[in-house]
Structure 1
Amino acid sequence: MTKDDMSDMIGKITESVLHQIRKGITIEFQKIEDKLEDKLEKIASQNNVLIKKNEQLKKQVSDLNFKLYDCNEGVKESLRISNYNEQYSRKTNLKFLNIKCGENMCLADKIIEIIKDVSNNEFKLNKSDIIAIHPLQSKYANKPKPIILKVKNTEIKENIMKYRKSFFNSDIPVYHDVTKKNMDLIKHLKTQSYIASAWYYNCHVYAKTDGRHKVKIDLFDDFESKIKHAPSD
C-alpha cells in the first residue's frame, strides 16, 4: 500500500467517522428539539387554560363588584327611606329642654302653662291639640330630661315655633325633633369650609354657600358637587 493509498484510506475513515458523529449529533438535537416543542405546546396549552381561567375570574370579580355595588345602593336606599320615615313620624314633634317636672306632675298641663307664659297669652295650646308628650332619657343626671311634645298638625307646631326666641330667652330651648342621622348630617355639613349654613326644615336637611340658593341634602348625597352646582342667587 502506497503512501497515497494510506492517506486516502485515512481520509475516508475520518470522513465516515465525522459523518457518523454529525448524524448522531443531528439525531440528538432533533430529539431535544422535539422534546422542547412538546414542552412548548404543553406550556402554550396550559397558558391558554390560564388565560381562560383568568378571563372567567375577571368576569366573576366584575359580577361580584356589580352585585356589591347594587347591594350597597340597596342598603343606602333602605337607610334613606328608613330615615325619612322616622323623620316624617316626628314631623309634628317638638323637643323642649330644661323643663323641671315632679314625679306626679302632669306634663301636658305643664307644657300648656309654659307656652301660655312664653307667648304672653298670645297662643293657647289645648289638651286636644296634644297627641303625645313624654320625657326622654338624659345623658346628664343633674339636668331635667328633654320633653317630646307631639301635636296634631304642623300649623300648631309652627305657631309654637314662632316664639322660639322667647323660649330661648326663658332658658327653655325648643327644637325640631330631628333624627340622629339628620343631626349628624347637619353637623358634618357645618364642618365644611365651603358651606355657609345647614339646617333642618319640614323633614329635610338643607344647606347653602354664600350667594347660592339653598339645596336639599339627603343621606349619601355628593353634597359638595350638589351645592357647588346650585344656581346663584
Structure 2
Amino acid sequence: MFTMAERTEKANDKKGEKNMKTPEQETSKQKKLTQLNLKSVPLSVRNSVVSDKLPNKKPRTSSGEMSPNGASEVIDTGELKIIQESLREIKDTMVKKSDIKDIVSAILSELKGEIKEEIISEIKGEIKGEIKQEFETKLEEKAKHFELQSKEIADGLNLDLETLREKFHAQSSEFRRMSQQLKQCLFTAESALKLSNNNQQYSQKNNIKFTNWGEGKTENLREDLIKILRTTVGLDLDPTDILEIHRIPGGAQKGPRPVIAKFRNSETKIKIIRKRQNDQLKKHFHMHDHLTTMNGRLIYDLNKDERIDQAWYFNGKVFALDKKGKRHRFEIFDNFAEKLRARSDT
C-alpha cells in the first residue's frame, strides 16, 4: 500500500507526463495550426490539449483507514493545495465547448473562403480561356472570311479594271480615228465651201447689185438702166450688153428691193461700176459688186477688225489693207491674226 504522500506525488508525476509533449507532437500541432491559419485563435486555446478521456478518479481514503501499523494517517494541507492547483490548471488548460465551436466556425469560415476563392479563380480562368479561345476562333474566321471577300473583290476589280483598260484603249483608238476623220471631214467641208463660194463668186463676176432704186408698179429695168446711164454719165449701152436684170424676190422690206444685173462681159461691168461715185448717178441708185453671202460677211468682219484699215472686193477676190499699209488677200475660214502675222514676218 502507498501512503497519501506517495499517491499525491505519483499523481503529480502522471500529470506532468500527461502535460509534457514530445517534439513530434508539438511540430504536428504547429503544422496543423499553420495550415489552418488559426493565428486569430486565442493563445490559451491553441496551447490547450483536447482529450476525450475523463480524468482518472483517485480512490478516496477514508479517514478511518488504518495503516499497516494500525495508526491513522493525517492528510497534509500543503499536499491538498498542490492537488487543488493541479486540478485548477487542468481545468484552465482544458478546451471549452464554446471555444471548440469558435475554432470549428473559424476553420469552416476560412475553408469556405479559400474554397470559394479557389473555385472563383478556377472558374474565371476557365471562362477567360474559353472566351479568349472563342474570340480568337471567331476573329480568325472573320479574318479569313474578310480576306476571302477582299480577294474576290480585288479579283473582280482587277478584272473590271482590265476590261475598262481594254475598252479605254479601244475607245482611244476609235477617238483618234474619229478625230482624224473629223479633221479630214472639216478640211473637206472647208475646201468644198471655199470651192463653192469661189464658183458662186465667179458666176457673179459680171454682176452689179443696185440698191435704193425706186420701185414702180410697172417698170422696164433694162430700158430704165440704159436711159439713166446715158443721161447721167454719158454711157451708151446696147440692150444686148445686159444679159439679165431683175429685182431680188422677197416679201415686205424697208425701201425698194435690190436689183441684180448680169452683163455680157467684165469690160462692160467695169466700165459701168467705175461711175458709181457719180453724184448724179447716186440720185437714182447705188452700185455694188454682187458678192456671195460668205464674201460679204468676210468683208464686214475685216472692216470691223482694229488691225484692218479697209477691205474690198476685186475681180472675184477679197483684199484688205492693214494699219501698216500692207495689202493682204483673205478667204473664208482664214485666221486674221495668223494671216497678218505671217505676212508681217515675211
Please give the TM-score of this superposition, normalised by the length of structure 1. Answer: 0.77
Any residues of structure 2 matched to 1:193-204 within 5 Å, and which? 193-204=306-317
Q: What are the ranges of 5 or more consecutive residues in structure 1 without an aligned counterpart?
A: 1-13
Match of 1:127 in 2: 239
Q: Answer 1 or 2: higher relative contact order, Cα 8 Å, separation at least 6.
A: 1
Instruction: Tell me which residue corresponds to 1:219.
Output: 332
Change (3 A) 1:101 1:33: closer
Rounded to whole Å, the distance in 2 between the matches of 1:30 and 1:143 is 91
Q: Structure 2 stretches of 5 or more lacking a match? A: 1-125
Q: Is contact 1:118-1:170 (8 Å) kept?
A: no
Equivalent of 1:72 in 154, 172, 186: 186
For residues 60-82 of structure 1, give each alpha carbon's deviation from its aligned partner in whole angstroms, at most 9, with x where no partner exists: 22222332332233222222222
Given that residues 312 and 318 in structure 2 are in contact (C-alpha distance below 8 angstroms), is that contact kept between their aligned partners in structure 1? yes
Map 1:143-222 to 2 at 5 A: 143-166=255-278, 170-171=282-283, 172-222=285-335
1:57 aligned partner:
171
1:32–1:147: structure 2 CA closer, same or farther, 3 Å change rule? closer
1:173–1:45 Cα change, 3 Å: same
The alpha-carbon deviation at position 35 of structure 1 amounts to: 5.3
Structure 1 Cα separation of the partners of residues 145 and 282 of structure 2: 104
Report the Cα offset of residue 31 of structure 1: 6.6
* Amino acid corresponding to residue 166 of structure 1 in structure 2: N
Number of residues of Structure 1 aligned to a counterpart in Structure 2: 219
TM-score by length of 2: 0.54
Tell me if the contact between 2:232 and 2:280 (Cα under 8 Å) persists in the aligned partners.
no
* 3-state SS of 2:308 partner: coil
Q: Residues 20-67 of structure 1, C-alpha deviation per residue, up to 9 Å, x if partnerless? A: 98x968975567545544543343233222211121122222222332
Report the structure number with the largest CA radius of gyration.
2
What's the CA shift for 1:215? 1.5
Q: Is the 8 A contact 1:168 1:174 kept in 2?
A: no
Aligned-pair identity in percent equals 25
Higher mean C-alpha displacement, 38-47 vs 207-216: 38-47
- Determine the C-alpha separation between the residues in 1 that align with 2:293 and 2:317: 13
- The reply to whether residue 137 of structure 1 matches residue 249 of structure 2 is yes
